[in-house]
């Protein structure tokens, strides 16, 4: 395994050669109607969709243009979008004054929870075009896989179904996710289940990824990053899109979208309907996903009222179990030993021996996850004057569903049932089919007041969110069902959570300095009570009060370069399992993170670069140690001290307007200062073996992550993109054991797109995405556990990803 330095050098040399043919340039100044320069105005070159933001003097420059006619699209928040055609016969200059928009636009929806371009913080903006380029049916984590410090995985191995992301080694439960400022993370597990939001990428206008603590927002604490999503903006006029794609593993995606634009009465409607099916790379790991998005709003001179709803329905065959290491290595003796250790039936053993790399433990036809999730949002934006703006939003999410399992030889007592006594025998075990349900409601509201005066901005905001969830399990069938009622509930409990926060943010501009201060108070009240799935009575009530301050400063070295520093403290409550699986008398403590960021940015016409160093210092981070509670559930324990420190590079170089290279890399050290590992010895009863570890790597935290995008447009209608991703070794637990790790991998994807313009459709795009071009055999995720029975036994499980596979699509825009 190696990083392909020769390949990169070859691509760079090719890029330099291709850039030699450019000849002209466009220099421009963008102002408002009072002749004031507009900093941060967006200038888009239609021919390659490249964005050129204006500097502090409202200026931009587009270099290395072949002679010809070019179309520019110029926009700025609160102003009318302008289109300008420029004939390039040398070095051309233009000046344009934008007019105030006669009505508000919905770019303001997420302003309170996002960073501006000059903010002293570490973040990445991903625009709609970048999302659309890779949106052929795979989930959003796979679409964003090329962004800095990102590692993604797919249970089914092909990016459809259950997918997840890690940023800086922090898993999905530590990444705050919002849609239009509304929290999406599950209140109890604090995770995000992208499978419940199929094809949501088609309804996004942009995504901002804030690495580290980020800015104060709504929902769970960001202990690795925040993913702030914004749905589609108001279109300039009526539009429609029909897109379809198909590819490997019987993957099909069909999407229909339309938008009215703003009509004469001020109203606008947007809608989307999507369907995605895939068999998955792993055996039987099929997905059947349906979703819709609907938005209707009124856009007035000073008022926006916008209602939207989106929903997902998923039926996904389970592939959560993973593939044993012996199966991946074709180790027959190891597979037989694994089957014996796990008590497999003959049928299960033969499935293991005969399945190959795509092994799936589950074989029951209806071993599915079946869940519906419906989201409703209502936004009101009010501009009182040029200085004061208010945003208020309400939300409601309804979730309901189950996963079904076939269970072999379970004890009756695991279901709260008595043994069956007959005249000839006592039956204490049976095969079961069970469903484990989650039925929940999540609702609340957010608000912000935004005051701007001169070089100062103050935002006062907050939110209140209430979660009410029911957890219960039902028996659908039992081999021996004497006296078991139909759909008998063998456990039933609830989880209630109230989450209230308030924040104040201040930004100030003092010459070359941009300063920021951000203070948040957050109150959390969590309670869960009833009978749990393991038949234990649970009764937990905990309250938390968190104070989360953040400060930052950015200094402009000149019009293109700046330095920034950021420091913040964040606190986060334990998740549901930390409470209910803790041993009696033990209460998990809240985690605390101190985050420091130091960065340098440069933004000129040919080079855009961000280099930042970060330190994430944890107190009481919850980690797995191998400890189990009295019913065998894994326990996370608070580690006194741990940290993540690293350097991130994100750079784009434009060799010409036809060839560019985006490269990002992360080099980090991720350590737990000390903790006690637990190993259980079942040889002669039950013994607990402990080992003290110091300065070990945090699990799933590779020290090197890299990504590259080489983009080439040899002619206006044809685009090539080579996407490369390198992820270093990852340990499966916190003992830094070389026998418990995911090997490093380097994967390349190739995208080709051809655009046709004709009289019937505004645009026809035909695209091809070839994933894993060089057929790398790799796993992106896994888990491990160990115990002693005569000797130490370690079981490693991995999630293999697909070899070379493809998706091809066609998109019709009108």
Secondary structure E strands in 484-590: 488-510, 513-531, 537-556, 561-572
pLDDT score at 14: 45
- pTM, entire model: 0.91
Instruction: State which H helix or E strand residue 336 sits in.
Output: helix 332-342
Tokens of 380: 């009101």
Strand partners for 269: 296
| Gap between the Cα atoms of 640 and 589, Å rounded | 11
Q: What angle do CA 200, 204, 209 make, to 5 degrees?
A: 100
Nearest to 290 by CA among 279, 278, 281, 277: 277
Residue whose entry in the numeric block shows the structure tokens 């330099």: 16
CB 681 within 8 A of CB 628: no
Q: For 1-101, which CATH class?
A: mainly beta
Helix boundaries (H) for 658-813: none
Residues in the chain, pLDDT under 70: 1-22, 108
Nearest to 727 by CA among 771, 688, 776: 776
Tokens of 41: 């105005």
Secondary structure E strands in 699-790: 704-715, 718-727, 730-731, 741-742, 745-756, 763-771, 779-789
pLDDT score at 108: 67
SS3 call for 402:
strand
Compute the half-sphere exposure of residue 746: CA atoms within 13 Å on the CB side of its CA: 11
Strand partners for 84: 72
Q: What angle do CA 186, 221, 158 make, to 5 degrees?
A: 50
Which CA distances in Å does 395 have to 174, 294, 442, 468, 499?
22, 15, 8, 14, 14
Burial class (CB in 10 A: 0-12, 13-18, 19+), 443: middle
| Gap between the Cα atoms of 85 and 87, Å rounded | 7
Q: What is the pLDDT of residues 85-123, one digit of tens each?
A: 888 888 888 888 888 777 777 776 777 778 888 899 999
Helix boundaries (H) for 563-648: 576-580
Secondary structure E strands in 757-790: 763-771, 779-789
What are the sequence ranges of the domains in the chain? 1-101, 239-322+360-762+773-805
| Gap between the Cα atoms of 802 and 114, Å rounded | 35
Instruction: State which H helix or E strand residue 61 sits in.
Output: strand 59-65
CB neighbours of residue 379 within 10 Å: 23
Q: For 239-322+360-762+773-805, which CATH class?
A: mainly beta
pLDDT score at 21: 47
| Gap between the Cα atoms of 701 and 671, Å rounded | 9
Compute the half-sphere exposure of residue 152: CA atoms within 13 Å on the CB side of its CA: 25
């Amino acid at each position: 395994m190696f990083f392909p330095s020769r390949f990169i050098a070859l691509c760079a040399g090719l890029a330099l050669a291709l850039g030699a043919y450019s000849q002209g340039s466009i220099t421009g100044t963008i102002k408002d109607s009072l002749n004031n320069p507009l900093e941060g105005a967006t200038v888009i070159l239609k021919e390659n969709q490249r964005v050129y933001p204006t500097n502090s003097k409202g200026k931009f420059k587009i270099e290395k243009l072949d002679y010809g006619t070019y179309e520019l699209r110029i926009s700025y928040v609160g102003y009318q979008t302008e289109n300008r055609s420029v004939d390039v016969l040398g070095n051309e200059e233009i000046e344009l004054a934008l007019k105030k928009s006669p009505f508000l636009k919905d770019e303001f929806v997420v302003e309170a929870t996002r960073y501006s371009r000059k903010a002293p913080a570490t973040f990445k903006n991903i625009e709609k075009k970048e999302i659309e380029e890779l949106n052929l049916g795979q989930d959003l984590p796979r679409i964003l896989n090329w962004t800095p410090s990102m590692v993604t995985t797919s249970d089914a191995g092909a990016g459809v179904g259950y997918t997840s992301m890690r940023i800086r080694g922090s898993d999905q439960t530590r990444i705050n996710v919002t849609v239009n400022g509304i929290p999406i993370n599950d209140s109890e597990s604090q995770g995000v289940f992208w499978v419940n939001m199929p094809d949501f990428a088609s309804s996004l206008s942009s995504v901002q990824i804030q690495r580290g603590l980020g800015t104060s927002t709504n929902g769970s604490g960001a202990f690795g990053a925040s993913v702030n999503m914004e749905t589609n903006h108001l279109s300039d006029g009526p539009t429609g899109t029909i897109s379809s794609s198909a590819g490997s593993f019987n993957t099909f995606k069909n999407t229909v979208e339309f938008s009215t634009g703003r009509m004469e009465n001020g109203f606008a409607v947007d809608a989307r309907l999507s369907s995605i099916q895939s068999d998955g790379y792993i055996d039987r790991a099929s997905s059947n996903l349906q979703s819709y998005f609907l938005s209707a709003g009124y856009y007035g001179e000073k008022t926006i009222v916008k209602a939207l709803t989106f929903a997902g329905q998923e039926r996904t065959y389970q592939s959560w179990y993973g593939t044993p290491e012996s199966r991946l290595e074709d180790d027959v003796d190891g597979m037989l030993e694994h089957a014996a250790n796990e008590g497999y039936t003959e049928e299960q053993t033969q499935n293991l021996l005969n399945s190959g790399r795509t092994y799936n433990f589950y074989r029951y036809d209806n071993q599915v996850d079946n869940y519906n999730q419906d989201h409703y949002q209502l936004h009101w934006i009010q501009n009182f004057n040029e200085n004061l703006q208010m945003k208020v939003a309400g939300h409601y999410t309804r979730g309901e569903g189950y996963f079904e399992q076939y269970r072999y030889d379970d004890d009756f007592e695991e279901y709260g049932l008595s043994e069956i006594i007959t005249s000839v025998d006592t039956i204490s075990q049976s095969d079961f089919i069970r469903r484990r349900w989650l039925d929940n409601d999540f609702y609340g509201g957010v608000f912000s007041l935004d005051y701007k005066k001169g070089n100062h901005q103050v935002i006062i905001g907050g939110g209140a969110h209430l979660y009410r969830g029911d957890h219960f399990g039902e028996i659908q069938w039992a081999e021996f069902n004497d006296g078991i009622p139909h759909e008998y509930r063998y456990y039933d409990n609830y989880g209630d959570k109230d989450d209230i926060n308030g924040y104040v943010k201040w930004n100030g501009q003092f010459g070359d300095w941009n300063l920021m201060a951000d203070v948040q108070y957050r109150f959390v009240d969590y309670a869960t009570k009833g009978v749990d799935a393991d038949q234990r009575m649970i009764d937990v009530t905990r309250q938390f009060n968190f104070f989360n301050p953040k400060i930052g400063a950015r200094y402009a070295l000149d019009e293109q370069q700046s330095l920034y520093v950021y420091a913040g403290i964040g606190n986060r409550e334990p998740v549901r399992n930390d409470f209910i699986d803790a041993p009696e008398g033990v209460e998990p403590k809240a985690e605390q993170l101190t985050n420091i960021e130091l960065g340098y940015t440069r933004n000129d016409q040919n080079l855009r670069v961000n280099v930042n160093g970060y330190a994430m210092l944890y107190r009481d981070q919850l980690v797995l140690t191998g400890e189990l509670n009295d019913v065998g559930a894994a326990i996370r324990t608070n580690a006194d001290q741990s940290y993540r420190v690293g350097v991130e590079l994100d750079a784009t170089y434009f060799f010409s307007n036809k060839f560019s290279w985006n490269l990002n890399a992360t080099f980090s050290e991720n350590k737990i200062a000390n903790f006690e590992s637990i190993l259980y010895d079942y040889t002669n009863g039950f013994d607990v073996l402990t080992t003290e570890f110091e300065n070990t790597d945090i699990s799933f935290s590779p020290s090197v992550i890299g990504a590259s995008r080489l983009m080439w447009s040899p002619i206006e209608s044809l685009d090539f993109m080579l996407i490369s991703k390198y992820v270093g070794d990852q340990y499966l637990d916190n003992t830094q054991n070389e026998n418990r790790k995911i090997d490093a991998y380097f994967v390349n994807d190739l995208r080709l797109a051809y655009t046709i313009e004709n009289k019937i459709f505004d645009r026809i795009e035909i695209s091809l995405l070839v994933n894993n071009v060089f057929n790398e055999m790799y796993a992106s995720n896994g888990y491990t556990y160990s115990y002693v029975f005569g000797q130490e036994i370690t079981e490693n499980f991995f999630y293999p990803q697909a070899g070379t596979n493809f998706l091809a699509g066609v998109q019709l825009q009108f």
